[in-house]
């Protein structure tokens, strides 16, 4: 989720600024296409979902990753290919558009490394 989000700047003093230990930023929202976000809201019947709501954003990511698993056969545990499919879309991934983007493959490898780091931290966590 960290790599797929965009930081939002705000000049609104009423917004409490705090660094989230998991997300690592002040405000973040998923960079989903409007049509994809609308599909999520309709399919989940969560029509009031907002991109800048952490619960909605994480639910969206789970919804999209499950769609990716079902459509493309990419396991939920395969962070690299899940990220590539998220970035280029399901049809773009299926066409292999990511293969000509060395920078994107590099980013997806960093996402996979971060996922392994988080998996290791979770395995050592007392409160699972």
CA–CA distance, 102 with 53 (Å, rounded to integer) = 32
pLDDT category at 128 given cuts 50, 70, 90 is low
pLDDT category at 86 given cuts 50, 70, 90 is very high
User: 9-33 pLDDT, tens per residue?
Assistant: 444 444 444 443 444 444 455 678 8
Both structure tokens of 5: 């989000």
For residues 90 and 123, is the Cβ–Cβ distance under 8 A? no
Please give the sequence-ordered ranges of beta strands (E in DSSP) within the chain, or none if there are none: 5-7, 28-30
For the entire predicted model, the pTM comes to: 0.74
Planar angle of CA 74, 110, 103, nearest 5 degrees: 90
């Amino acid at each position: 989720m960290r790599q797929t989000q965009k930081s939002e700047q705000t000049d609104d003093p009423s917004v409490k600024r705090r660094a989230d230990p998991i997300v690592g930023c002040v405000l973040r929202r998923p960079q989903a296409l409007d049509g994809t976000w609308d599909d999520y809201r309709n399919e989940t019947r969560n029509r009031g979902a907002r991109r800048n709501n952490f619960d909605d954003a994480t639910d969206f990511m789970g919804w999209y990753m499950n769609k990716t698993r079902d459509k493309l056969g990419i396991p939920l545990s395969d962070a690299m290919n899940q990220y590539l499919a998220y970035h280029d879309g399901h049809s773009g991934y299926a066409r292999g558009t990511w293969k000509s983007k060395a920078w994107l493959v590099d980013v997806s490898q960093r996402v996979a490394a971060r996922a392994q780091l988080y998996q290791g931290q979770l395995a050592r966590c007392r409160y699972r």
